[in-house]
Structure 1
Amino acid sequence: MKTQRSGHCYPDSAAEGVSMTVAAVRSTLLRYRLVRADAGYGAFFSYSGDRDRRLLPRLQRAIEKQSRPWYSPPRVRIFLDYSGITVGPRLRAKIEAGLARSRWLVVIASPEARRSPWVDREIDWWLTHRSVDTLLLVVSDGALVWDERRGDWDPDRSTALPPRLLGAFPDEPVWKTIPWHDPGRDPDIDSAAISIAAVVRGMREDDLKSEGLRDTRRNLRWARAVALMLAALLVAAGVIARIAVAQKNTADEQARIASTRLMASVADSHGATDTRAALLLAVAAYRTSPDPNTLAALYRANLASPTLVRSVTTPAPITQLETSADGRTAVAGLGDGQLVAWTATDPTLAPITSLTPPLSSIAVSDDATVIAATAGTHLRLWRKTGGPLDLAVPDGLTPQSVTVLPSGTAVAVQATTAPASGALLLYDSGSGRLQGRFATDALIAQAGVPGLGVRSVLPISDDDLLLLDHAYWVRIRVRDGSVEDTGIGELPDLADGLIGRPSGNGELYSASNNGGTVDIYRLHGPKRFPADDIAATLSAVTPATGVEPPAVLDRNGTTAALLAPDGSIYLAPIAAAATPRPAAVRLTGAQIRSGDLIRFLGDTGHRVIAATADHLILWDTDQIDRLSVTTAAAIPQVCNACPRPTLQISPTDTEVVVSSGVDNGQAPDSTDIDREENAKYRFTVVRPLPPSRGDGRSVPADGMPAWPDPAHPVLLTHQRAQPDSPTPPLAVLAAASPDTVLSGAWSGPDPATVLSLDANGTLSAQNTSTGAITAQRTAPAPATGYGPVVSNHRFAAYLSGRGVTIVDSATLGVAAQLDGRDVTALAYAGPQLLIHRGSDLEVWTDNGSTRLRTLTGIGPSGHWESLAADDAGTTVAYLDDAGSIILDDLRTGTTLATIPGGPAAAGMTGLAMSHNGKHLLTATGSWRAPEGTLTDHDIAPDTLVRTACDRAGTDLTPQEWHDLVGIRRPPTASCP
């Protein structure tokens, strides 16, 4: 229900109780002076019409905000029905209450007010209880016309006059007109507000304006003070916040550094015992804080246990392990009954089948296309082309072990019956049909002495099986179980736990005396070693004592794998006792707990797979480390006293030129034999980068190579040899000085020009297409006959009799001459010149004008050793006396890595780093040797992370992380 008044809607509801409650609360607060007493209203606005209703609140606010301090209540309050009347019944009583509490009545005259009975009632109440002297007129629309003749309003022309005002004024009043209904005009609200407020307060308008100005100024002063105070508080809060943020950042940084140091330290401590954990923790440290220290930890983890190839995690602990003879596949039986296959080059596992655990035996064909497994009374066959097939076991028999013939055509199963007799079952792999059943006791008895039972069944070929007792063996035909041969092997009478599996060819058996020597015994012929009656004349020797029996022999019987007490594995060559043999190789990086879970992969004796818990680990003794790829290559080396081979990488890092680094000039060989022999090793090779992408192409000449054009290398030489290909890999140009050997060649800013220096100090510029000399200058002669000369295209540097001479490649002029005392190596690192002096590495600007810094204890110790750096000036590499590559951070001097080499590498290895710093190349050769090695070390940080994650297999589980580190894992501390 709503009541209409003058175009306004007043809700009629039960909310009168709310107003009574508010009044009660206000009375209570007044007693405690918590609110000011109600001073009534200065004026009551009487109006009608929607148009006035929209603008009168603006007039109300303009009056109430005038002339007061900002913290004080209004000096004049205006009663407006929308703000002065609460919700509830008795509208007329509330309006009359508002009129009673007001000192002035302001009538907003308009045609709507003229027609409104409510306006007339409010005027009537006012004239009855107040005086016309306290009534103000404000015209918002229409007109008011005073008739002087009548002394009253003109009722016809006063279109805005409420009827009750006729005859109310004794003389003409003053009224205010606000033309806010005129289109296009903005009503002057402030002027009307000042006029009404001045009358209500009994002040002149000018005085009210002055008071407002004073109040405004006072308020502005307060506002400025408050603003200054707030600004000061804001500045203080900002300073405090910045200090807090800085302290938090410092604390976070210190915590991050501490956590990364912990990760790196734990990674270092696990490099030899758990390489997987070391790799993953080093990745976590580097990704959390990529700095030289964590990068060094990442290098160390990637270089730790260098023969460890990779590991893979299985869904459950491993209980059985076998490998295929072709060296491609390992098959693991798991504690939950699963069988999984692992191709050593694949980081993932392939599920095969599953049986009810526990598994008792598994076997694999030579190519892993047929796999057999037993579990309890269950016997299952898996075929690559036919899938799984369950084999029926005769009643009363329990499978003990299973063997697959090399081709996978048949499966042999050793089974037992109660109480102790046994049977040999032969199944066809294609159909699963039982082909034969033989009593093993009867077969062993044919050896001449009653046997104690078959210990193992070994497939010699698709035609023969070898049945082994403790000391006797029987060889039978697969097709009919007939005995082909029997004999007493050279087997010791030892307990089961001390005797290992035979070699894959069935010739050798091992036993252990729990010392560093493991005796190897013969089984049957053909014998490759001289036999002595039942004597253990063969052995495998390790430096460890207390190796765990039994030893595992490779398929050819040349290498034994022995489990050391610390969980590492020794690969020891098998040889007669008095025969010299290579030292055993120790495989680290995992803690293997059982020799029964060690197997050779393939027949080389170099690759080993072992299992520990739920991890399979592969080692390869042919692997240098996980970052390097070695390629056999012909490395030119024309004399025993010549410098190291020279490697020059193309500006695009896509090719490398391998040369002898020597220009022999036209000096004749001492004999025709020398001439003919040396011609075999006078060549220069261009290979792709990385070298594993393909073989290189060569030209039959040695000399000084350079890369003036990234796509077309040039070789300066004195030899008259012609390229042996119509499209040689590099252009061969005659040296500028016909009678003087070259000391070096390099490229300058012009891609059509190659620059060179000869032993007399003559600097030459030659056209790469014609070989024509375009410029020559004279500079100090090199200190040695063959340089070296280093360059970054803009400048070249070499050691002369006057010191370190720096040449401007654009003008061939000498740009600088530096002290040459104790200088052993030079290199350019992009815009920086590196000078190794004594035991320090000096870093200069490329033109030698300024020494930027000196790093102590860095660089090679010998004379004119190899020194290489990247163009970004971040990494430097050099060879130490042992032939190892030392990698240092060029900005801080931090040693990043030591990549092991060898004695041969110490004297005959050339070193180069790609311009982008991702590849470190070494070329190792020897005088008149037919083959050398070219090794690519991929040292890019992203490669280190990718390699570590790939070779580790799966990431650390939360439990593994907690057990290893014991701190919260940072979000980035994992493989990407």
Structure 2
Amino acid sequence: MDGKLAPAVQEALQQMAKPWYRPRALRVFRDDASLAANPGLWHSIEAALDDSEFFILLASPQAAASPWVSREVEYWLAHRSSERLLIALTDGAIEWDDRAGDFSREKTTCLPSVLYGAFATEPRWIDLREARRVEQLSSRMPYFRDRMADLAAPLHHLPKDDLFAADIQQHRRTQRLIRATVAILAGLTVLLGVASVEAVNNTKAAIKQQRVAEEQRRIATVRQLAALGDAADALGNPRRAAMLGLAAVAISNNSETKANLIRVVEGTTINSTLIDRIGSVASMAITSDGRTLATGSFDEEVVLWDLSDRDHPVRLGSPLTGAVEAVAFSPDGRTLATGGLKGEVVLWDMSDRDRPARLGSRLATPASWTGLVQAVAFAPDGRTLAIGGINGTLVWDVSDRARPVRVSAPESGAVDSLAFSPDGHTLATGRGLFTVVLWEMTDPSRPVRLGETPEGYQGRAGHAGAVVSVAFTPDGRTLATGSRDKTVMLWDVSDRSRPVRLGEPLTGHTDRVESVAFAPGGRLLATVSQDKTVILWDTSDRSHAVRLGEPLIGHTDWVESVAFTPDGRTLVTGGRDKTVILWDLSDRSRPVRLGEPLTGAMRAAAFAPDGRTLVTGSEDFTVKVWDVSDRNRPFLVGEPLTGHPDWVDSVAFAPDGRTMATGGVDKTVIVWNMSDRRWPLRLGEPTSGSSLSFAPDGRTLAINRLDRTVMLWDLSEHGWPVRLGKPLTGHSAPVEAMAFAPDGRTLAVGGTNNIVLWDVSNRDRPVRLGDPSIDGLELVRSLAFSPDGRTLAVGHVNDVILWDVSNRDRPARLGEPLTGHTDWIESVAFALDEHLLATSSRDKTVILWDVSDHNQPVRLGEPLTGHPDWVESVAFAPDGRTLAASSKTKTVILWDLDPIRNLRSNLIKRACAIAGRGLTLSEWIATIPDEPFQETCSTR
């Protein structure tokens, strides 16, 4: 119908945001051009419509009169949603009648009749009438380009701003490609005049230089993103920091970018963020089983979420529309009550969470009830429903969900919040007059006001603003009230007729408190505010509630509602920033201490290869064997082993677990047969030495001696130690540490100022490698080879240095020292997965390092603290899930590493869950315009 305009629209849609390497951005079928004339024309049109995602109607009086247009529209509405039909007005007029909820039949002149009644609300349409009058249309004309962006945005599933950004980026990329092509052609022309060999060499050099430049640019970009992420985190936006960290990993997936992202993830208690088409969240409710979340928004929609997997909540079905200022689930979770504008309250059957069904008509309210419903609450027995709003409070008997009966109206006047006590006998209503009223609800049809307004409420020592939220503790003895005066108060309501305020008002929020909620145990209170924060309070002592830590930050606008899941492990908050955030209260991303520390004057610890046995050396001259099958409840196996005349400060197992060696401060070493861990047997007599190390084959034991030498012992004869050859000599200082490489061919010996590597392939005649192998060190107290044997970690004063020892004669230092400890390094250990290194220090901490890239190791999270003194040794369990750390002051702490392991293996998913999404196209281009856009988080 629009012979000139239609082709221009088709071309503009196909060219907008088109990558240079594609013929078109979209495939646009036009019914007067894309099909050849044939007898089966309609069947071809049907097939084309079936294959299309959207229908664009160029609306005009001529189109409205066309039977072909009417037939196409009618077919589309019968097989597709009207939401996928876009209208572009080219001539005539369109008028929407709000009262009728349809297009005005009198004033609309350009739509086929089949479209009347097809839309539930007024659809957005594009006005192209001015474009029709232009002789030569171009997609770069501002007016036409703007209209085409309006039309193309839904086709690309992008906001209009993002589409513009994509179009600009693709245009710039095409221009860069053209310039690069011209430059290459010019370069080729020059190359034709020089020798071919020189040309090829120059080309290779240029390509190499370009790659180096590209890599340097990427490094600069990801470090800029890290700096921006740090700034966002410091300003209280960890979600933005996670988005930037995800972009950095997408650009350059290395240990540095992953460690920065881990730091962001570890630094926030946000578990996941829900932003899938949520409006400004006004209220929330969670079912008693914790599986379903309902969010009510100011946009008059209720969105339902499956919380079975807290890390990845799933949106359920389509939003419920209607009155949604307030939501509440019945105790059994089978009914949802929603209340909102114009006094409307609706009950929904939640038997099928994906398809909630409306139960009867809305609850009948008095004619005077035309204002906002601000709160709804079920009594614990599920038979009574109370609503509060601008016009007061109403109570319904909802025993028959399909036929609720209004039974009472306890009070008039604005009610902002309400809550039933756990026994259902009391209803608390928070009013706009700075007061809370308690009602006896034993007979819901006859509520009785209990006592006077609690002493101190009306501006004397109580709230000086409207009470907008109330919550009972699970035992019903305490009531919390949140107010627009920025404070929270706790009340003892054991005697309902005489409430007494407990302690001083809780202060900390800098703006109005919008909602309060107790955790299931009643000892934790959460409050949210228009200051965009969440505060947790310890209410164990009701008269002296204490704030826990700093306020939780993550929302970017007012926080309106708060709720705990029934298990108390997750806090859910929603706000005007159109997000719902799930907060993890168990801190699952950090290593967790397992059980109570093992005590008994312990100075050293080592796991047996079976992972079930832990052996500790003690200051009481004994060696203890522990069963750690249950890491939370270790217990002693058998009696302590004796034989050392002084402290036992070193323990080592042979790889088969059948032989163990222990060393003492008295400079003696004892070898034990551990075939039966209940009855270890001493093998031979103690020998002189302190530090010790088993070769991987378990047949050789290295022991250092007081004369700066190392002696090798053969244990192949049923474990009985037999000296091998002559001592290893030539060490310039006392030996402090030793370690065998995994292949058993190399022994590293460290002392005060150097490390010597020995080739021990021939145990009887070891050969020194290099002279010296690694020099220029001040103090080496610990050594460890990586599982592949190519890297040696050296604890050097306060730092750890990694060395490449793949060429044993020429060790090469790798990267910069690992810094973070503030005192001497006492121990270093690699996990068997090669990517994790643990270091301990006299600063009483343990630090975990990601050494995936040995040239750029990065610290994982904050140091592990809680050790009472020096941490003298660290040891990984064979499966890498547990770390044992022994302290100078007689304790061993076991650390569960599953949190950090799970975080490393699911880093992108966790970061995406926290952020809720990746950077949008427009945000990406505004932040990193020189990098091609990447979708960093898949759609939920």
Q: Percent sequence identity over matched residues?
A: 15
Q: Please state whether the residue corresponding to 2:260 is helix, strand or coil.
A: helix
| Gap change, CA 1:438 and 1:326, over 3 Å in 2 | same
Match of 2:231? 269
Q: Is residue 804 of structure 2 the alignment partner of residue 862 of structure 1? A: no
Distance 1:474 1:452 in 2: 15
Question: AA paired with 1:683?
Answer: V
Counterpart among 684, 695, 706 of residue 748 in structure 1: 695
Mapped pair 1:373 → 2:330: no
Deviation at 1:345, TM superposition (A): 2.0
Distance 1:787 1:309, change over 3 A: farther
**1:468 pairs with 429, 433, 436, which one?**
429
Larger Rg over CA atoms: 1
Unaligned runs of 5+ in 1: 1-228, 442-450, 667-678, 720-725
Residue identity opposite 1:311 in structure 2: T
- The 5 Å alignment of 1:13-24 reads none
Do the aligned residues in 2 keep the contact of 1:548 with 1:595 (CA within 8 Å)? no
Show the 5 A alignment for 1:352-501: 354-366=319-331, 368-376=333-341, 377-384=344-351, 387-392=356-361, 393-394=363-364, 396=366, 398=369, 400=373, 403-405=376-378, 409-414=382-387, 420=391, 422-428=393-399, 431-434=401-404, 437-441=407-411, 452=413, 454-461=415-422, 463-469=424-430, 470-477=435-442, 481=446, 483=448, 486=451, 488-490=453-455, 492-493=457-458, 494=463, 497=466, 499-501=468-470
Instruction: Report the CA distance shift for 1:595/1:699 in structure 2 as closer, same or farther (over 3 A).
Output: same
Spell out the pairing of 1:332-731 with structure 2 (5 A cutoff). Answer: 332-334=295-297, 335=299, 337-343=301-307, 345-351=310-316, 354-366=319-331, 368-376=333-341, 377-384=344-351, 387-392=356-361, 393-394=363-364, 396=366, 398=369, 400=373, 403-405=376-378, 409-414=382-387, 420=391, 422-428=393-399, 431-434=401-404, 437-441=407-411, 452=413, 454-461=415-422, 463-469=424-430, 470-477=435-442, 481=446, 483=448, 486=451, 488-490=453-455, 492-493=457-458, 494=463, 497=466, 499-505=468-474, 506=476, 507-511=478-482, 518-522=487-491, 524-525=493-494, 535=501, 537-540=503-506, 542=508, 546-550=510-514, 552-555=516-519, 557-563=522-528, 567-574=532-539, 579=544, 584-602=548-566, 604=568, 607-611=571-575, 613-623=577-587, 626=589, 628-630=590-592, 632-633=594-595, 635-639=597-601, 642-643=602-603, 646-648=605-607, 655=611, 658-662=614-618, 682-686=624-628, 699-700=637-638, 708-709=654-655, 712=657, 714-716=659-661
* Correspondence 1:75-86 to 2 at 5 A: none
Letter in 1 for 2:402: G
Q: Deviations over 1:746-796 (max 9, x none)?
A: 442425x3636487776544359x544455677589999997654434245
**For each residue in 1:648-702, what CA deviation from the matched residue of structure 2 results, as whole angstroms up to 9, or x when unmatched?**
585xxx9475442559656xxxxxxxxxxxx9xx3334559xx7xx987874457
Deviation at 1:361, TM superposition (A): 1.0
Deviation at 1:288, TM superposition (A): 1.8
Letter in 1 for 2:419: L
Which amino acid counterpart does residue 262 of structure 2 have in structure 1?
Y
Q: 1:742 to 1:588 in 2, by over 3 A?
A: farther
Q: Go from structure 1 to structure 2 and tell me whether the alpha carbon gap of 1:884 and 1:608 turns closer, same or farther (over 3 Å shift).
A: farther
In structure 2, runs of 5+ residues without a counterpart are: 1-190, 642-647, 665-673
Match of 2:246 among 271, 283, 289: 283
Given the alignment, which residue of 263, 288, 298 partners 1:300? Answer: 263
Query: Which residue of 2 is the match for residue 835 of structure 1?
Result: 794
The CA distance in 1 between the partners of 2:721 and 2:806, in whole Å, is 26
Q: Quote the Cα distance in structure 2 between the aligned partners of 1:955 and 1:898.
A: 23
Partner of 2:285: 322
Aligned length in residues: 690
By how many angstroms is 1:362 displaced? 0.2
Amino acid corresponding to residue 476 of structure 1 in structure 2? M
Secondary structure of 1:432's counterpart equals coil
CA distance in 2, matches of 1:484, 1:532: 12
Q: Deviations over 1:396-428 (max 9, x none)?
A: 3658256454767335032679xx465311202
Structure 1 pair 289/572, CA: closer, same or farther in 2 (3 Å)? same
Code of the aligned partner of 1:586 = E
Shift of 1:522: 0.8
Report how far residue 538 of structure 1 moved.
4.2
What SS does the aligned partner of 2:550 have? strand
- Stretch moving more, 959-968 or 773-782: 773-782
User: Matches of 1:808 and 1:754 in 2, distance apart?
Assistant: 14
Q: Residue by residue, what CA displacement relative to the aligned partner does 1:939-960 show, whole Å, maximum 9, x if unpaired?
A: 8865433443454444443345
How far is the alpha carbon of 1:932 from its aligned partner? 5.5
Q: CA deviation at 1:437?
A: 0.8
Cα deviation code 1:792-836 (max 9, x no counterpart): 342455656997676766627765587785224322232333333
- In the alignment, what sits opposite 2:28? none
Counterparts of 1:357 and 1:966 in 2: how far apart (Å)? 42
Is residue 887 of structure 1 aligned with residue 849 of structure 2?
Answer: yes
> Which secondary structure state, in structure 1, belongs to the residue aligned with residue 310 of structure 2?
coil
- Does residue 260 of the first structure (1) align with residue 222 of the second (2)? yes
Question: In terms of mean alpha carbon deviation, does 607-616 or 235-244 score higher?
Answer: 235-244
Sort the Cα spacing of 1:410 and 1:757 in 2 relative to 1 into closer, same or farther, 3 A.
Answer: farther
1:535, CA displacement in angstroms?
4.9
TM-score normalised by length of structure 1: 0.59
Larger mean Cα displacement after TM superposition, 344-353 or 867-876:
867-876
CA contact (8 A) 2:751 2:780 kept: no
Inter-partner Cα distance in structure 2 for 1:662 and 1:805: 30
**Shift of residue 492, structure 1, vs aligned partner:** 1.9
Aligned to 1:34: none
Q: Distance in 1 between matches of 2:754 and 2:652?
A: 24
Name the residue aligned to 1:160. Answer: none
Shift in CA distance, 472/611, structure 1 to aligned 2, threshold 3 Å: closer
Q: Distance in 2 between matches of 1:490 and 1:780?
A: 85
- Using the TM superposition, give the Cα deviation of residue 300 of structure 1 relative to its aligned residue in structure 2, in angstroms: 2.6
**Per-residue CA distance 1:426-451 (angstroms, 9 max, x = gap):** 2026x43325511213xxxxxxxxx7
Instruction: Report the secondary structure of 1:428's partner residue.
Output: coil
Q: In the TM superposition, what is the alpha-carbon distance from 1:476 to its structure 2 partner?
A: 0.8
Task: Kindly indicate whether the alpha-carbon contact (under 8 Å) linking 1:841 and 1:854 is maintained by their aligned counterparts in 2.
Answer: no
Q: 1:139-161 deviations in whole A, cap 9, x for unaligned?
A: xxxxxxxxxxxxxxxxxxxxxxx
Residues 773-792 of structure 1 mapped to structure 2, 5 A cutoff:
773=721, 789-792=738-741
The alpha carbon displacement at 1:716 in A equals 4.6
Q: RMSD of the alignment, in Å?
A: 5.0
Amino acid at match of 1:380: L
Distance 1:802 1:629 in 2: 34
